[in-house]
Structure 1
Amino acid sequence: EALSARQQERLEAVEKTLADLAHRTERRLESLQKTLEENLQKLRESNEGKLEQMRATVDEKLQDTLEKRLGHSFALVSERLEQVHKGIGEMQSLASGVGDLKRVLTNVRARGSWGEVHLSMLLNDLLTVEQFATNVRIRPDSAEAVEFAIKLPGREDGAPVYLPIDAKFPQADYERLLRAQETGATDEADQAAEALAKAKQPLTMKERLRAVEEMLDGGAATDALTEIDKLAAVPGAPKRELQHLKASALLRSRSYLEAAKAFQAAAMSRSGREAEQLTLSARALARAGKDAEAIKRYAEVFARYKATPYGEQSAYQMARLMLQNGRFKEAEAAFTKYLATFPKGKDRSDAEVERALALLSAGSAAQARKQFALLAQKAKVDAAGKLRELEGLAALRAGDKADAVKLWVDVVTTYPLSWASLSARSRLLSLGAEVPPLLPASSAKAAKAAQAGADEPPAPLPVSLPPTPAFLYSLGLDGDAEVRLASNEPEAAAAYAGRESEALCAMYGMLSRAKRRYRVGAAAVSYSALMRAPSPSERWAWDCIYPRPYAEPVRALEEQYGLPKGILYALMRQESAFDPAAKSPADAVGLMQLIPPTATRVAAELSMPYDPAALTSPEVSLKLGAHYFAKLLKMFQGSVTLASAAYNAGPKAVSHWLATGADNDADLWVARIPYDETRNYVARVAGNLSRYQWLEGGDAAVTVLPLELPVDARAPADAY
């Protein structure tokens, strides 16, 4: 038992010792763990600091490298895209030219004749006459011949070996023959061979005449003249038909005096087309500036062929030429006779207005006033304003100043900032009469609200471009950004509920271009909204429909040439609707719509290389157009009216109208312009300019239209 008690005591002592040891070990481990955690934390913080420093250094270097590489890449992309755009422009020009050629070469026979003409020209350019032959028999035992053959050496006796070339060998049948032979389709091969054999037959005279007509329709008058001369040498050629075709080709090539003589000669040959040919002869004389002779010839056609369409046409053109030449009493009588003879005549509406103009300038103001009033009642809005302004002038000349003033005040108010309104304003100022606001308030209520400040500007609309257009814009590719935005307008405007059009106009306003912005504005703004002064909440709409793209180059060009501020925008809006790639049926190209011959000469004056594809470049078109308009403005002694007319119809036409006319106040002179397009063009450019000026500074900024034109201004002989 004593042993057992001692063992128990020892066990207890051991247990206590072990417990103490475990406790001390636990405390030491806790202390060690705490020390280790502290050291680890310090190490972690130290490592994070060093890693952050390393990261900052790496980020800085990466950012610098990335910016350099992105900058280089963007520059490369921009350069390549610019080359692509230039290539597209060249392709568009080429496609247009191909389209024109395609219209001419509508059948196989015509293509053959066209090919023969150009193959002849090509061989004459490349070879001497001794190096090729024409109409060569391909085999001694055959009557078949090819059009051309190149002479090659190769025989001992010195006789040449011929390399035949035939422009009328039809490719389609040849390819069909090859396909048939490859597939073993003997029937098809025989048909193709037969078609080829037929095609090698020479064109008939009828087919060659048809080819000439297609050349004329395609604008190839010079080539047509060459072919006509060849046909004239063929025995049995239809002389009368060739005479008519040659006269038509001369007219198309603008050889007007020669054309007049040729049509006259054709009519003398009793072709059965005398009325047509004499009418065309008179037209050619008028275009050559031989108005007196043209009037006589038109009178001849009217007298001899009154019952034909050419008699009607000649009666009207004769009266119009008399009006243009200041023969007002004769013109009035001629228009009266035309209207009586052809009560349903094609030109009746124009003849009624021109008769009233003749009455006014002939001194029959009271009668003219009645005519203008009647015509204004049934005219459309734009024409009615012009007729009422002229009615006011007739009232003044008839001695009724009070009614004249009343009419002009109404025109200014009813047709604001139009050609009619600008003319009426000038008439009022010439009499010392009070001029109403150029843009009236929409209503008395609106005017009162504006005066009280009730119509405050709406809350600003924070607008940003969508990502893709924004990226393209950042690269300077505004045209591509415009196209991309135009294809996603609903999505882009969705975030601006109730103000979608305003938001789109603001987005497009961030770009240098305005083609789509103008169209969005035209769709969003009503005609009535443009007939009153815009309220603060409507100002965005005016800025949208009268945009000011390419601000810096336009400002610089207007300053450089001393042009009226806003005139380039007024021209752009009318010429191309701000479309840099616009092309007219007359081949006018670009923002300022220059035809290639004019652009070539302007570029030469500026010592610029001429590239037809570059006409779709806004910067190039603006530079050329500004120089040309400034040239015309100087030529016509600072008259914007005359320069605008010359920009559209050409300076020589304007000179002719000035030289032959009389009673040449601006409103009367423009009303008598014989080309409808030019007459409307001058009015619309003036209206555009007045609205751009009004947006800059209200009524006071709108230039007063000079009623007096520099009638002694003339285009020089080399004007273009």
Structure 2
Amino acid sequence: AYLQTGRDAEAVATLSEFSRKYPDSLLVRDAHVLYANALLTEGRAEDAAAVLEKQREPVRADAELALGRAYEASGQTAKAADALRNVYYNTPTSLEADQAGAELRKLGATTASLSERKTRADLLAKGKRYSDAANEYRDLLNEVNPEERPGVQLALAAALLRGGHGKEAKPILASLPETSGEVNAQRLYILGEIARASDDQDGFLRTVDQLRQAAPTSPWLEQSLLATGNIYLLKRDYDKAIDAYRELQQRFPNGSRASYAHWKAAWLNLRQGRIDEAKREFEDQIAWYPASAEVPPALYWRGRLAEEEGDSGKARAFYQKLSDRFRNYYYAELARERLKAMKASDDPAQYAILDRVPPLPPGKVAADEIPTDDLRVQKAQLLENGALVDFAVREVQAAAMEEKGSWGTPETARLYQDSGQYNRAIEVMKRAVPNYFAVDIPDLPRPYWEALFPKPYWIDLKRYSSQNALDPYLVASLIRQESEFNPTAVSRANAVGLMQLLPNTGKKVAKEEKLRHFNATQLFVPGVNLQLGTRYFRTMVDKFGAFEYALAAYNAGSDRVQDWLSQGKYRDPQEFVESIPFTETREYVQAILRNASVYRQLYGVP
């Protein structure tokens, strides 16, 4: 407050004693940076530099920028340039980096080593600032030695491709000298991606053939084969898609995409009516990749095929394994529904392949008491009362590390929830218990589940759901997937609010609902967004009948769903869902239906 009102002397006096009076405060380093800036304003540059020199590890861009300015003001230009270069080249995506660059230009200290410049370019690319990264790589091209030049050319081409300028990358790749190994493999991969982005399928496939010949064991070929399978999948050339996925799995059986590729080939064989092949490959999936994400669908669909053949013992065993091991997964709930419809068996069949699935790691989470006598916890309560939630969270997390209890996670989530930041509470819990869907409800304390599956805006949510004959838990699950209950969320496609409605969609539905004087900013109002979102979702349900189809349309659009439905017969909506060619949409539908089931278990009748 003193600094903001120009009362620098009072700020200096107050901050000079901060670390002595509050040595255990989490804000000591922040206070030192503020103190140094106040000293600098007071014309005490050398004192500011002395304070900040003690705050250099770990690197913080704001502290380094302030240090650079302090050294500059005290006439120590070499030290100033060092600090400013640290910001500009080692933290290029920070808010302070551009300011550091301006200060360096003012000092005339723009000379940097090639290593520093390459580091900056790489960090910009990693931060998805592809245009800036490309500019940096371009500047490096004519200065690096011949041995390093191909690497910079490839990095430039990759940045241009990812930034949507693939055509500019082609001449750069063409200028690469004849080479072999991974440099050549990456060159071919990028050329293939440029062709694919231009919808040049023949050009893409030629580069894949070249990769097969030049680099048969390269991970760049693995990525290209996955893209090949996906291209054929979208073009509905299923046999060629199977061949590409199978080639990937056979060439790279231990690669990161092997399990997925094996599953896609197995699934497409089922869709092509090759039942015996599908049965064998579903079991191979479980045997070869027992810890993979594709095991639940493999268990379920192998059970379904056994059930269709009248082998109820095998079907029951696979369903039961799925239900027990993957408790709240999408397919586990489907398996329990199938089990309910089957006759009970006193002598369940045993199948050795099911023992390959690893058990869930032991460890039930205990509900520890919050240590209310802890000083940091008491600070957190005061900060929460002052609406300083982020500072309160820092105190809770520090206290939890010191106390070594499990109470810190749910207390952090509660702080976020009570301040209306449900999305942050959900993310805290997801990080703390990443396998929560595999465990039964009693295995986690109730506060964990309530943070993971909250019920904000419940009165409006329930009212508008009921008006549109929708299950409120299904709507809550849709919102959880779309925005995690953040009413201010805006997507890359400009979808807005809780239910992520596009402004044009909101305007259209508002007109249908006779909502007068509607404007797009009202989509940030939870009640309005719920009113229009539930109505819009209802139109999807009315159009397609099953919730699975309606959810897919909500995510990917009605035209795509109609197209997918036209691609042959499906046993049921569940087979349609597994056949959705877009991974994002397929997982979206499964997640929402899974979440709705958890909501019902937690809260009962809405």
With the shorter chain as reference, the TM-score category is: 0.5 to 0.7
Q: Does 1:555 align with 2:455?
A: no
Question: CA offsets per residue over residues 295-353 of structure 1, 9 Å max, x none?
Answer: 55434422432132212332343234434544333333334433333343332222332
The question of whether the paired residues in 1 share the 8 Å contact of 2:173 and 2:187 is answered with yes
| Equivalent residue letter for 1:220 | R
Q: Does 1:331 align with 2:237?
A: no
Partners of 2:388 and 2:75 lie apart in 1 by 49
Larger of the two Rg values belongs to structure: 1
Partners of 1:364 and 1:188 lie apart in 2 by 71
Question: CA offsets per residue over residues 392-428 of structure 1, 9 Å max, x none?
Answer: 344367x446467646763785456531144447778
Instruction: Please name the residue that 1:391 is paired with.
Output: 302
- Corresponding residue to 2:502 among 594, 602, 614: 602
Partners of 1:381 and 1:567 lie apart in 2 by 27
- Corresponding residue to 1:302 among 201, 208, 212: 212
Partners of 1:250 and 1:625 lie apart in 2 by 41
The question of whether the paired residues in 1 share the 8 Å contact of 2:208 and 2:224 is answered with yes
| Equivalent residue letter for 1:419 | Y
The question of whether the paired residues in 2 share the 8 Å contact of 1:279 and 1:310 is answered with yes
Question: CA offsets per residue over residues 256-280 of structure 1, 9 Å max, x none?
Answer: xx62x44555444344444213323
Give secondary structure in 1 for the equivalent of 2:495.
Answer: helix
Q: Does 1:419 align with 2:318?
A: no
Partners of 1:251 and 1:242 lie apart in 2 by 14
Give secondary structure in 2 for the equivalent of 1:388.
Answer: helix
Question: CA offsets per residue over residues 40-86 of structure 1, 9 Å max, x none?
Answer: xxxxxxxxxxxxxxxxxxxxxxxxxxxxxxxxxxxxxxxxxxxxxxx
Q: CA deviation at 1:515?
A: 7.2
Q: Does 1:282 align with 2:189?
A: no
Partners of 1:567 and 1:662 lie apart in 2 by 28
The question of whether the paired residues in 1 share the 8 Å contact of 2:389 and 2:416 is answered with no
| Equivalent residue letter for 2:502 | V
Identity among equivalent positions (%) equals 19
The question of whether the paired residues in 2 share the 8 Å contact of 1:482 and 1:511 is answered with no
Partners of 1:428 and 1:506 lie apart in 2 by 38
Q: CA deviation at 1:548?
A: 1.7
Question: CA offsets per residue over residues 667-698 of structure 1, 9 Å max, x none?
Answer: 44544667766654443321111232456667
Q: Superposed, which structure 2 residues align to 1:147-226 within 5 Å?
A: 176=71, 178-180=73-75, 199=108, 215-222=124-131
How does the TM-score come out when normalised to structure 2? 0.53
Q: Which runs of 5+ in 1 are unaligned?
A: 1-169, 437-465, 491-500, 581-589, 702-720
Partners of 2:387 and 2:105 lie apart in 1 by 53
How does the TM-score come out when normalised to structure 1? 0.46
Q: Does 1:362 align with 2:262?
A: no
| Equivalent residue letter for 1:354 | K
Q: Does 1:269 align with 2:175?
A: yes
Instruction: Please name the residue that 2:361 is paired with.
Output: none
Task: Pick which of 341-350 and 598-607 moved more.
Answer: 598-607
Give secondary structure in 1 for the equivalent of 2:593.
Answer: helix
- Corresponding residue to 2:592 among 654, 661, 685: 685
Highest relative contact order (Cα 8 Å, sep 6+), 1 or 2?
Answer: 1
Partners of 1:505 and 1:202 lie apart in 2 by 47
Partners of 1:171 and 1:520 lie apart in 2 by 36
Partners of 1:551 and 1:371 lie apart in 2 by 45
The question of whether the paired residues in 2 share the 8 Å contact of 1:513 and 1:550 is answered with no
The question of whether the paired residues in 2 share the 8 Å contact of 1:408 and 1:425 is answered with no
The question of whether the paired residues in 2 share the 8 Å contact of 1:566 and 1:692 is answered with yes
| Equivalent residue letter for 1:304 | A
Question: CA offsets per residue over residues 197-245 of structure 1, 9 Å max, x none?
Answer: 99456789998777665544443345566788999999x9999888756
C-alpha spacing 1:469/1:306, structure 2 compared with 1 (3 Å): closer
Q: CA deviation at 1:651?
A: 5.1
Question: CA offsets per residue over residues 503-534 of structure 1, 9 Å max, x none?
Answer: 9999999997767987799999x9799647x8
Work out the number of aligned pairs and report it: 455
C-alpha spacing 1:188/1:229, structure 2 compared with 1 (3 Å): closer
| Equivalent residue letter for 2:458 | A
Q: Superposed, which structure 2 residues align to 1:338-357 within 5 Å?
A: 338-357=248-267
Partners of 1:411 and 1:189 lie apart in 2 by 64
Instruction: Please name the residue that 1:371 is paired with.
Output: 281
Instruction: Please name the residue that 2:97 is paired with.
Output: none
The question of whether the paired residues in 1 share the 8 Å contact of 2:457 and 2:526 is answered with no
Question: CA offsets per residue over residues 688-711 of structure 1, 9 Å max, x none?
Answer: 11232456667xx9xxxxxxxxxx
| Equivalent residue letter for 1:348 | A
C-alpha spacing 1:387/1:675, structure 2 compared with 1 (3 Å): same
Task: Pick which of 261-270 and 222-231 moved more.
Answer: 222-231
Partners of 1:187 and 1:481 lie apart in 2 by 37
Partners of 2:468 and 2:582 lie apart in 1 by 29
Partners of 2:110 and 2:379 lie apart in 1 by 60
| Equivalent residue letter for 1:179 | S
| Equivalent residue letter for 1:364 | R
Instruction: Please name the residue that 2:473 is paired with.
Output: 566
Q: Superposed, which structure 2 residues align to 1:76-95 within 5 Å?
A: none
C-alpha spacing 1:286/1:389, structure 2 compared with 1 (3 Å): farther
Q: Does 1:319 align with 2:229?
A: yes
The question of whether the paired residues in 2 share the 8 Å contact of 1:392 and 1:403 is answered with no
C-alpha spacing 1:251/1:527, structure 2 compared with 1 (3 Å): closer
Q: Which runs of 5+ in 2 are unaligned?
A: 1-64, 84-103, 345-376, 400-408, 508-517
The question of whether the paired residues in 1 share the 8 Å contact of 2:327 and 2:438 is answered with no
Partners of 2:80 and 2:282 lie apart in 1 by 74
Partners of 2:602 and 2:391 lie apart in 1 by 25
C-alpha spacing 1:350/1:691, structure 2 compared with 1 (3 Å): same
